[in-house]
Structure 1
Amino acid sequence: MQPDGPAPGSPVWQALLEGTQAGVALLGPDLRYLYVNPALARMNGVEVEAHAGRRIADIVPGVDIDEELFRQVLADGRPRELTSSGQTRAGSAHARRHWRGCCHRVTDTGGRVLGVGLVLLEVSEDQETRRELERTRERLLVLDAAAMRIGSTLEMEPTCQELADLLVEVLADAAMVEVLSSGEQDGHRPPPDGTVRLRRSALSAGPSLRAVAAGLGEPGEYLDCQPGSAIPRCLRTGRPIVLNLLSDDEMSRSAPSTGHVPFYRSAGIHSGLIVPLAARGEQIGTVSMVRAGASPAFDEEDVAVARALAERAAISLDNARRYTREHGIAVELQRALLAVPGAPNPRVDTATRYLPAGADDLVGGDWFDTLALPGGLTLLAMGDVMGHGVGAAVEMSHYRSMLRVGAGEGDAPDRVLRRIDRLLAAGGVERPATCLLGIADPLRGAAWFSSAGHLPPALVAPDGRVSLLDVPPGPPLGADLGGRYETVYQPWPPGHTLLLYTDGLVERRGEDIDTSLARLAGLRLPPEGAPSAEGAVPARAGGGSLDALLARVVHRLAPDAAEDDVALLAARAVPEPGPRR
């Protein structure tokens, strides 16, 4: 203080105390108000004069002030910072107000203790901003977790379960995911008029409800929701439905059916939250969450987090639903096409096998065919259309149809490939394909092969030895490279089996193709007629032991889910019947 400054108690000091926005007070040694400035009176919602001689708890009983802190200041004279929160008698837009300030011991010029001085500033706005930032950070962490954990597969059920598990970790005591029924309801009768039917795809429960979670419904069950209940309302409006602390009547109207209410009450469930699942303008279903016991009711922040998670998960669910639909179409199309290979010549016995890749992959364009030709010959074909999915399966059918037309009257395989390639060049094709053609002649014990970029055939001897046949590969069909193909002759001794296959049987990611083919050539299969230890499927009519041979090859080379589809075709000459005695 400058020597010529205003003296304590002067009008200047009075103006300073009464003009500031900080709340200022002087508490006596008994911690009763001796002075408050107008700013503090406004904070408290009590007139200045009404403070005199009263304690803080008398003026603002809803504020958590620790008087012990003031006693410590009086005792040792050391100033201290303080924080407090609560509500005063003054109106406020904040659900809870917050203050920060300091307190110090006040003495007169003679050193006599007059009391404790307080200076307070309201920081409610800063606290709200800080809490909002923290909530935003937590929400981002949850969404990051959702991005990592939801949609790890392209399958509906696992994706729904991932969502339910995450919701139980961060938001609810139990969570259920219900998807709209597709109409294929496993023989169930259609729902009554006005009832919305969904299928429960996932259920997850925390410790408080785990023992009784079965009462909420098992995954796979159908859920019929009564008209006007919460789930149909959520689907109709596309907005979350909050069901906090409902009465029995309210819960009866909101539950899927009135029969659920006794279970909810016995389990201690008191609040619910239902959020829609929708993506790309289409409804998928809902997510239902409940809280029980000592868990609080759902608030606006819970709704925001649940909605964000549902929006994120809905995209993954829609992708899974689209994939499931396309995968199903592709599988059925490919199975239908491969289920009816042409009939070989009666003197040639054949067996085929098709193994789709893992469930997470779209089926490919692998195909095979056999066709009886004039002169006792049989056409053997193995092909692989590039790509996966419905497009590859449809293109596969084009190649197969074109082969049957182009096979002609027993032309050499290279001529057939050139003819098909010219037709493809004239008509256009979206996906090139590899193809291996063989003409099998059981009467002469010979076979002729030509390859359009396909892996070489193999020959399996009666003693189980496997050898690869040298068939130079030409360019793939439909690659617009000008078909230059060559037919090569291969002896086909009695009892030997021709084996055609697609690359999924031998190729492995990151491995050189020569190494992959050497694995096939290195096989030593059980001799003809030896019992199978690989669980071979029963031979089909006229198939002899060819089915067993294919089962052994698959067991040795692709015992688990292959990285790509696998198609195999085996052919063996049928011995001539011996002379009658």
Structure 2
Amino acid sequence: MGPPDAPDPLTAGALRQLVDGTAAGIAVLDTELRFVYVNPALARMNGVPAADHTGRTVADLLPDLDTRPEVIRRVLADGVSRETAPSGHTRAAAGRERRYWHSTFHRLEEDGVPVGVVGVVMEVSASRREQQELEQARERLALLDTAVSRIGTTLELDTTCAELAEFLVPGVADLATVEVFPPEQADAARQVRVDRPLRLRRAAMAAVPRLREAARRLGEPGEYVRFQAGSQTPVTLATGRPAIMNLPSDEQLARAAPDSDRVALYRAMGLHSGVVLPLAARGAPLGVLTMARGGRSPAFTREDLTVAQDLAGRAAISLDNARRYTREHSIALELQRALLSSPHRPDPGIEVASRYLPAGSSALVGGDWFDTIHRPLGRSLLVIGDVMGHGVEAAVDMSNYRSMLRVVGAADLPPHHVLRRLDAMIAEAPDSRPASCLLVLADPVRGKLSYARAGHLPPALLHAGGGTQLIQVPAGPPLGTGVGGYEMVTVDWPPGDVLLMYTDGLVEHRNEDIDASLDRLAALRLPVADSLESLLDRLLDHLVRGPAEDDVAVMAARALDPHAA
């Protein structure tokens, strides 16, 4: 304790200095909630001189401020101090932005009788704004994190575009479309000129339910959209800058739209605001993302544009990957088909049909192949193989091995000797890939089939009398190991029985044991009296459902009746 004669720090003058000098706003209200006193800080907050407060209520003085007067009345009634968070606008110049305060109210008494309340007010607009910005940043990051798992899930260009459009609706826009350059248009030809019309392909469109029917009139996915010269899409692609169009006039909309005839449809749909963003990756333009809002949805903000740009940037990388993959996959697939070509003609006494199905577009092409090699005495060597791995390299190796086999197979050697020679030749080649192979020497004159296989799945016989039989042939190691050790098995080939040779893509499925896959093949009952083409169609319908998980090559052979007309 201080000395007895120390001055009292809480004198009326000291308290007045404290109240008048603090940065907090302080007000004293009477029992009718009329101002009795305000300090300079609160006068500045309210934008009203202190003297002009006296005798007036907050509602009279500041009608655009929500102060929760019922809370203050409860403080008067029960004496319990309470806090409020008023917001709104005072007469102090602060732009259009809403302001926020934190207030505490205490009851004032004289001889136990309530005479009013005192309120202490601090403006918290800045911290509230920082909190809102932080929340917006968190929401944006959460949105982008979600987008990572929902956009670009495949290497299909149109699927990626659809995922982008559907992700934006309805969270960011009421309507979203994605237009891309035609796939046949080379990168060098994608230089957009604002003074010329532009033709793009609509890859995707998404809309809220109330707009879906009308949106179809704007162009379905897969259709081409022609943009008039000087419209917003060519401008955005030429400049690389996004554009916001909020509440445009009919004249402005007619200039910005793909063509002026669309204005009436836009108005009928109730669309009032739009955003056009370029889609580009690695310096190359890919297309545009267009978003629109209508009805009671608010106009687009700069924050909306920032979010959309982030999403468009991420999606553009996925779109470019899909575009590059689609182009490279198409080249590889065409190369493989060209290398595979059609098998040689077998002996006239043998009917042969074949099929090749590439894997789904999410996988690279493989090295599956088949062939027939004519032998003397009415015989033919039937071949099916599979180079390990995928891609152009596997397809090229497949072509090399096929050429080797045609040379070795032309010699009148039994199938297991052909495999031994081919194995040694591949093993000597640098960087050669292993390959599986099944050889069958078909002899329709003697009614015999002689089998030898190198790491390949067993052949099957579809019997004319019904049922499917898997032929047990010693597997031997894949070609290219240099180990050799192949054996031959000869079985009867009754008239009408169909020989079936295939690669693993026909029967194998993920998470399934190969024995179960082969059992499913053996359980088939197919009408072998049909043409071989029809037979293969039925076989593929039974065993390949949806996009193939791996490339499928299959060949069927049947001895022709020499007495048939």
Measure the CA separation in 2 of the matches of 1:524 and 1:215.
49
Residue 23 of structure 1: aligned partner: 25
1:407 matched to 2:409? The reply is yes
Residue 125 of structure 1: aligned partner: 126
1:90 matched to 2:76? The reply is no
Residue 136 of structure 1: aligned partner: 137
Measure the CA separation in 1 of the matches of 2:464 and 2:292.
67
2:324 to 322, 325, 335: 322
Amino acid at match of 2:343: P
SS in 2 for 1:407: helix
Cα offset, 1:289, TM superposition: 0.9
2:536 to 539, 547, 550: 550
Amino acid at match of 2:131: R
1:195 matched to 2:181? The reply is no
**TM-score of the two chains, using structure 2 as the length reference:** 0.89
Q: Deviations over 1:482-530 (max 9, x none)?
A: 333333433434443322111222323333333333443444444x54x
Cα offset, 1:313, TM superposition: 2.4
Residues 5 and 97 of structure 1: CA distance in aligned 2, closer, same or farther (over 3 Å)? farther
Cα offset, 1:295, TM superposition: 1.4
Residue 483 of structure 1: aligned partner: 484
Give the gaps of 5 or more residues in structure 1.
533-544
Cα offset, 1:435, TM superposition: 0.8
2:34 to 23, 32, 35: 32
Q: 2:193·2:234 contact (CA, 8 Å) conserved in 1? A: no
Residue 280 of structure 1: aligned partner: 282
Residue 189 of structure 2: aligned partner: none
Q: 2:369·2:385 contact (CA, 8 Å) conserved in 1? A: yes
Residue 537 of structure 1: aligned partner: none
2:551 to 565, 569, 574: 565
Amino acid at match of 1:276: P
Measure the CA separation in 2 of the matches of 1:302 and 1:235.
20
Amino acid at match of 1:15: Q
SS in 2 for 1:443: coil
Measure the CA separation in 1 of the matches of 2:525 and 2:69.
90
Q: 1:326·1:390 contact (CA, 8 Å) conserved in 2? A: no
Residues 430 and 280 of structure 1: CA distance in aligned 2, closer, same or farther (over 3 Å)? farther
Measure the CA separation in 2 of the matches of 1:134 and 1:248.
37
Measure the CA separation in 2 of the matches of 1:548 and 1:165.
41
Cα offset, 1:7, TM superposition: 6.9
Cα offset, 1:94, TM superposition: 8.4
SS in 2 for 1:382: strand
Cα offset, 1:338, TM superposition: 4.0
Q: 1:434·1:452 contact (CA, 8 Å) conserved in 2? A: yes
SS in 1 for 2:352: strand
Q: Deviations over 1:294-324 (max 9, x none)?
A: 2111112211222222223223323332332
Residue 355 of structure 2: aligned partner: 353
Residues 33 and 522 of structure 1: CA distance in aligned 2, closer, same or farther (over 3 Å)? closer
Number of aligned residues? 558
Residue 502 of structure 1: aligned partner: 503
Matches within 5 A, 1:453-472: 453-472=455-474
Measure the CA separation in 2 of the matches of 1:169 and 1:555.
39
Give the gaps of 5 or more residues in structure 2.
187-191
Measure the CA separation in 2 of the matches of 1:316 and 1:408.
49
Residue 576 of structure 1: aligned partner: 562
Q: 1:408·1:416 contact (CA, 8 Å) conserved in 2? A: no
Cα offset, 1:61, TM superposition: 4.2
Measure the CA separation in 1 of the matches of 2:250 and 2:537.
62
Q: 2:374·2:410 contact (CA, 8 Å) conserved in 1? A: no
SS in 1 for 2:412: coil
Q: 1:208·1:292 contact (CA, 8 Å) conserved in 2? A: no
Residues 418 and 334 of structure 1: CA distance in aligned 2, closer, same or farther (over 3 Å)? same
Residues 5 and 274 of structure 1: CA distance in aligned 2, closer, same or farther (over 3 Å)? farther
Q: Deviations over 1:313-344 (max 9, x none)?
A: 22332333233223333433333444421111
Dislocated runs of 4+, deviation >6 Å: 1-5, 190-193
Q: 1:229·1:254 contact (CA, 8 Å) conserved in 2? A: yes
Measure the CA separation in 1 of the matches of 2:318 and 2:457.
37
SS in 1 for 2:132: helix
2:434 to 432, 435, 450: 432
SS in 1 for 2:170: helix
Residues 50 and 560 of structure 1: CA distance in aligned 2, closer, same or farther (over 3 Å)? closer
Measure the CA separation in 2 of the matches of 1:499 and 1:268.
62
Q: CA RMSD in A?
A: 3.1
Cα offset, 1:26, TM superposition: 1.3
SS in 2 for 1:425: helix
Q: 2:28·2:116 contact (CA, 8 Å) conserved in 1? A: yes
Measure the CA separation in 2 of the matches of 1:436 and 1:468.
13
Cα offset, 1:52, TM superposition: 3.7
Amino acid at match of 1:517: L
Q: 2:82·2:105 contact (CA, 8 Å) conserved in 1? A: yes
Measure the CA separation in 2 of the matches of 1:465 and 1:113.
102
SS in 2 for 1:474: coil
Measure the CA separation in 2 of the matches of 1:487 and 1:230.
71
Cα offset, 1:393, TM superposition: 2.9
Identify the range of structure 1 (313-322 vs 281-290) with the bigger mean alpha-carbon deviation: 313-322
Q: 1:82·1:101 contact (CA, 8 Å) conserved in 2? A: yes
Q: 1:191·1:197 contact (CA, 8 Å) conserved in 2? A: no
Q: 1:25·1:40 contact (CA, 8 Å) conserved in 2? A: yes
